[in-house]
Structure 1
Amino acid sequence: MRTHLLSVVVLAFGTLCAQEGPPLMPWPSDHAAQEGRLRVQAPVQMAWSGFHDARLHAAERRWLVRMGDRTGLTLFEPDSLPGTTIAVAVDRKGDHLQVGEDESYALTIGEAGIRIQAPTDLGALHAFATLYQLLQRDEQGWYLPHVSITDAPRFPWRGLLLDVCRHFMPREVVLRELDGLELVKMNVLHLHLTEDQGFRIESNVFPELHEQGSEGQYLSQEDIRVILREADLRGIRVIPEFDLPGHATSWFVSHPELASAPGTYQVETRFGVFDPTFDPTKEETYTFLDAFLGEMAALFPDPYLHIGGDENNGKQWDANPAIQAFMKKQGMADNHALQAHFNQRLHAILKKHGKRMIGWDEIGEGELPDDITIQSWRGKEGLVRAAQEGRDVILSNGWYIDLCQSAEYHYLNDPVPADSPLTAEERKHVLGGEATMWAELVDARNVDTRIWPRTAAIAERLWSPAEVTDVNDMYRRLELVSAQLDAIGMRHKSAQLELVRLIAGSEEAAQDLLPLVQVLAPVEGYRRHAITEHTTRTPLTGIADAAVPDPTGPRSVAELLDSIQQGELPGQWAGYSWLLPQVDMQLAAVMMDPSTMNELARLATRRELMKGAGLAAVKAIAEGRQLEEDVCQAYAEVLLQAAGPRSEARFPDLPAFERLYRRVCITPEK
């Protein structure tokens, strides 16, 4: 029987995260734990008072079925006498499309039973999610701890951007993410629907757009209606984005006359910033966009419509004599002024169709009314500037989950930190933020491994009080919430196992490969693009695709090594194989292609060398000595090899090995 890395680490050093507390994420505004446990008896029924409609009825069934799946109890039997009753009092229906609508609730669990009170049904939905997270088990069975919770979000805009363009995400993926967002109390799904690599929404007004610009992969309007209906039932807004004037190649496959340069256009397969851009000097451009955006405004009920507006390199504008003549005639100094003109025309079109404009940082660089909303991706400076100018703003910088950074990094990224230069009045313009799931390096198979569970940490930053910043406790709860997300259908766990089986070629070989994959993570930032030129045709079935961004095992190893190098030695340290079980590469090689096999062999060898160096360092610390010079030189070479500059996968605990090296190889100056 194989021993997995995390369980060994916990056995070796189980006191690192021994805090107790309910598996809640986001953490409530006010949480008062009490003595006692309420035993869950089947079936569970809700006793409603005040407002009650189809949204709440659907939520009752959804959450009781989920709780039944977890417990094995038949909890949803509406026609039977109740074993457990939940009293729910709701004052009115909430308008989930209104930014700032009341989402508060109060939840009490005690000897008298369970009581939920909420001004709107939106608050009641959040209370059900909290109730699900509180469900726990002991030797006597399933229970809910006695507790009193009063809760409300810190920010009204808590969202996830899902790029369905660069790699297509079908309806079932989008619907699945709604369930995850509901559990962690996020209330916005931002769909990025047009891009150089694909036009991913059906248009009845201009069907040639999706017919020629999507390679057959797009969301139909019926798909959108289903997504909107399910989002509404969960109190989640759906905001469409149509990226303009750049990132627009897929529009011009069927409408090259709208581009700023003549020619034949094809859907882009590469990634990056490309030249094709709408011609902002042609009246036909605005006639066309008026008709298209009018169609989309009628389809999507949210008051906001996102126009993108980012990363226009201006090359087609610079090379077009007619555009240059237009700019000169209008007294426009540069392309920023021309794009501001374009945005002003779009603003008028959206206003005509009853929509508010939202776009990336760049739309704030021109003269536009203050009723636009900025999505800040380039840095906190843009957020601060927008708020100081009296414009609403949401943050995405620091929450690019496609860059495979740690949950800790995202968790400590606060839209309005304590040292923010914004005044109290200016802070009101910071509506919240969105995690952004760009899809250059994910597809429908592994997208959940990038979204979950780290997005739950972002959800907490947007919901919970600013003072909730304990990283260790966040990680403790994140592991538990990850299991909850898995239980309601998120695929961040199962997708990794499926990819490992695909890479290994057999179930038996996959079991040997899995321990190696579980100590790896994809490289951070944009390094994968620098190492390998990926396109939309590149299979996403490599080791870096199977690895997850912030794996539990290496994080536990890093905590253990840091404690050891600080002098906290676990008993019988030499007996622990807490770095990596040996991978049977001979067995795995039977079904693998040579290039994958070579990469795995390199990674497995590097890990074994790290293991040997780490054990030597721990032994030296235990014996109160420094390592010999030649051993230190070998250790340094191991660290250099482990960094693997040409590998798309990395060892996330490598910095802990480097700190251990400094402890045993570098004599402190006296």
Structure 2
Amino acid sequence: MAQKMLLVFVSVIMGLFSYARLNQTFNLMPVPALVKVNAGRVGISGQFRVAVTGKPNSRMYSEASRFVRRLSNKTGIFLDMQGYVTSNDTDTTSTLLINIQRPGLLKLDEDESYTLEIHTGKIRITTVTDLGAIHGLETLLQLVSADAAGYYFPGVSIRDNPRFAWRGLLLDVALHFMPVDVVKRTLDGMAAVKMNVLHLHLCNDQGFRVESKLFPRLQQMASDGIFYTQQEINTIVNYAAQRGIRVVPEFVVPAHTTAILTAYPEFASVKKTYQLQRYFGVFDPVMDPTNEKLYPFLEKLFTEMSSLFPDDYFHIGGDENTGKDWAAVPHIKAFMKVHGMKTTMDLQTYFNQRLLPIIKKTGKKMIGWDEVLQPGLPKEITIQSWRGNEAFYSSVRKGYKAILSYGYYIDLIQPASYHYLNDPIPDSVKLTEIQKNFILGGEATMWSELVTPVTVDSRIWPRTAAIAERLWSPKTVNNVDDMYRRLDIVSLQLESLGLQHLSYKQVLMRRLCNGYNTKPLEVLVSVLEPLKIYERNEGDTMYTVFSPFTKLADIASPDQEVPRIFNEQVEAFLINLSTISEKEIRDKLILWQENNVAFKHLLLNSPALSEASLLSENLSALAAAGLEALQYIHDKKTADTEWLKQKIAIATSAKQQGGRCEIQVVNAIQKLVERVTIL
């Protein structure tokens, strides 16, 4: 026994050592479960060939062919020997040999593991299913390296499998519609970081986004003519399946149903004429669960919709029902009294209990947001938790399968580090092994109130790659600095897939600047981030579905690199007073101080930028204060109280938002100022 424990200990230490070496050399995301580096090397040349053995299907050949094209594009090497990988490519002496035991099924808990061996002259990917092979190919592309001798794959042995089976992204296409090409490039990004569930939020108060042949008024009256045809849904599902990604539909009921009630007002609790909601938020219109005609309608609609999505799961929403319309209608109040219901949530549980056999009849498993978790809810319903960790762990302790979204709301503009450290099973939470098994995984959520097809990529990527790692990699992979190091590189790799999270900025900046000279705006935007949480949609001007999303807050992206690095430099400088750090800080402060003059020139022909004028002035004044503070620190001199008071006032003023954005270097510069008084 002692010898066995020693071997386990040695194995763990060697694994950690390999991971350390990996971090120094490679930029993998997600980090694999086990990595060992060896001295091998496989050069990439025009003679590179791929073979597939075992029992593959057409998906494997297509993905192997896509790998060849991507490798050629990444390296610029003409891989002319192999246009496509086909069933004829079985030569076991090929550069890359993929062996799979069987095609994978697109279902929860399918085997997604793979092994990847790179030794001198050969690469081998071995898997149970082709899903694992697809993941292995993504890892292999991330391993492409270069030196003076050319492009190559470094020697490495990888054993990899996901920590959680459900690694999802919710894409809201109801509040702002996302065309098929946006969905496709989103799926490409998801596959690159080994995510496997696309959750499509397909209807809300603002629109119903899928063609119904049984109830055509839904697209005629409840979509503004902007919806997916059933053929387009089929295209999306097939495109996702090709990349090993499941598509889970959400049709939210009984609240957030203004669009449905616009087309079919007879199912509303309050009888009136409804119109599509143009604002965003939580509204009172709700279906009438006491109307027996509602259930045949939902059965026909959900049966039709579920037939478009082969996945086992069907999401019914169930969130944000205010209950006000129910409480205001006499016949509903009477129904509740007769059935002993004390609250409107009791009525919603009744509604969910009526829905469950309808969903089961379609062959699906029902999911709902955590509001559906009420006494009497059947255990076979899966809970998606968004309101807090307490609700999430309460559900698994009660025996419900659950998906964590709390802490993964990427539309709230929080940094990647926040999402990255949000572990579904933290050490602080005590669960039994059985309870842990109820945790299916997690799901990032991209709600689209404040995004359009132009800007949505910048809100999803690259931060979602950090969430993907949290859901795939071992729990011990949690170094934030190393995550950011790799994330910056992965961001460029994602752009090569056609994602627009980097390139969109220049398009919007040229529009705002009325020309090609965008440099002053670039400098300002590099230190700005949009207002976080829900603050952007507060104030005198509320956003609607028709609002322009081409302004300063749309150009500024979450978790900006420039302020993040600057803030780290200031923290380090205040500890060691390094002359190198001092110069780097000084150079940035000079740039920001001087930028205001050039920015003012832009304003002469760019009225739309006027909302950024105060931000530019504040940044310049703040930078000037920082330069003064830096000089005091350099000269080892202190300043008087009046100087400190003036500079703190500048910093306080700079914390004010403008254009619904905030300057992200205020606190760091204020720390420089405050340091002067304690020298």
CA distance in 1 between counterparts of 2:100 and 2:138 reads 16
Per the TM alignment, residue 571 of structure 1 is displaced from its structure 2 partner at its CA by: 3.4
Distance 1:293 1:213 in 2: 17
Instruction: Read off the aligned partner of 1:520 and give its amino acid letter.
Output: L
| Equivalent residue number for residue 356 of structure 1 | 365
What is residue 277 of structure 1 aligned with on the other side?
Answer: 286
The answer as to whether partners of 2:420 and 2:466 remain within 8 angstroms in 1 is: yes
Cα distance in 1 for residues equivalent to 2:40 and 2:101: 29
Whether the 8 Å contact between 2:258 and 2:274 is mirrored in structure 1 is: yes
Q: Does 1:58 find its partner at 2:62? A: yes
Partners of 1:564 and 1:618 within 8 A in 2? no
Distance across 1 between alignment mates of 2:158 and 2:150: 23
SS at structure 2 position matched to 1:253: helix
Provide the residue aligned with 1:151 in structure 2.
160
Partner of 1:13: none
Q: Determine whether 1:630 maps to 2:634.
A: no
Contact 1:64 1:76 in 2 (8 A): no
Are 2:475 and 1:466 aligned? yes
Q: Secondary structure at the match of 1:172?
A: helix
Q: What is the CA–CA distance in structure 2 between the aligned matches of 1:72 and 1:481, rounded to whole Å?
A: 19
Q: Structure 1 residue 602: deviation in Å?
A: 1.2
Are 2:654 and 1:642 equivalent residues in the alignment?
yes
Q: 2:43 aligns with which of 20, 39, 42?
A: 39
Q: Which whole-Å CA distance do the structure 1 matches of 2:82 and 2:204 have between them?
A: 47
Whether contact under 8 Å (1:437, 1:451) holds in the other structure is yes
1:78 aligns with 2:82: yes
Contact 1:61-1:76 at 8 Å conserved across structures? no
Asked whether the 8 Å contact 2:573–2:582 carries over to 1, the reply is no
Q: How far, CA to CA, are the matches of 2:396 and 2:488 in structure 1?
A: 35
Superposed CA deviations along residues 628-649 of structure 1, whole A, max 9, x for unmatched, are 3222112211211111145411
Give the match for residue 542 of structure 1: 551
Partner of residue 68, structure 1 = 72
Q: Distance in 1 between matches of 2:489 and 2:80?
A: 24
Aligned to 2:633: 621
Identical aligned residues as a percent:
43
Deviations 1:599-651 (A, max 9, x none): 22211111112211222222222333433322211221121111114541112
Q: Distance in 1 between matches of 2:303 and 2:311?
A: 13
Letter in 2 for 1:101: E
Matches within 5 A, 1:480-491: 480-491=489-500
Aligned length: 646
Q: Please name the residue that 1:92 is paired with.
A: 102
Q: Which residue of 2 aligns with 1:21?
A: 25
Contact 1:520 1:551 in 2 (8 A): yes
Residue 515 of structure 1 aligns with which residue? 523
Name the structure 2 match of 1:529.
Answer: 537
| Equivalent pair of 1:188/1:237 in contact (CA under 8 Å) | yes
Using the size of structure 2 for normalisation, the TM-score is 0.92
Partner SS state of residue 507, structure 1: coil
Q: CA RMSD in A?
A: 1.8
Cross-structure match for 1:392: 401
1:210-225, aligned counterparts within 5 Å? 210-225=219-234
Are 1:406 and 2:415 counterparts?
A: yes
1:606 aligns with 2:618: yes
CA pair 354-566 structure 1, distance change in 2 beyond 3 A? same
1:588 aligns with 602
Unaligned runs of 5+ in 2: 1-21
Question: For residues 600 and 143 of structure 2, what CA distance do their matches in structure 1 show?
Answer: 46
Q: Does 1:182 align with 2:194?
A: no
Which 10-residue stretch deviates more, 382-391 or 633-642?
633-642
Q: Residue by residue, what CA displacement relative to the aligned partner does 1:328-350 show, whole Å, maximum 9, x if unpaired?
A: 11111110110000000111100
Which residue identity does 2:638 align to in structure 1? Q
**Counterpart-to-counterpart distance in 1, 2:361 and 2:489:** 47
Partner Cα distance (1:578, 1:34) in 2 = 42
Matched residue type, 1:635: K
Q: What corresponds to 1:167 in structure 2?
A: 176
Query: CA–CA distance in 2 between the matches of 1:353 and 1:215?
Result: 29
Name the aligned partner's letter for residue 615 of structure 1: L
Q: Which residue of 2 aligns with 1:430?
A: 439
Q: CA deviation at 1:422?
A: 1.2
Kept in 2, the 8 Å contact 1:336–1:366? The answer is: no
Match of 2:3 in 1: none
Distance 1:99 1:662 in 2: 54
Q: Secondary structure at the match of 1:571?
A: helix
* Inter-partner Cα distance in structure 1 for 2:577 and 2:466: 29
Match of residue 10 from structure 2: none
What residue number does 1:127 align with? 136
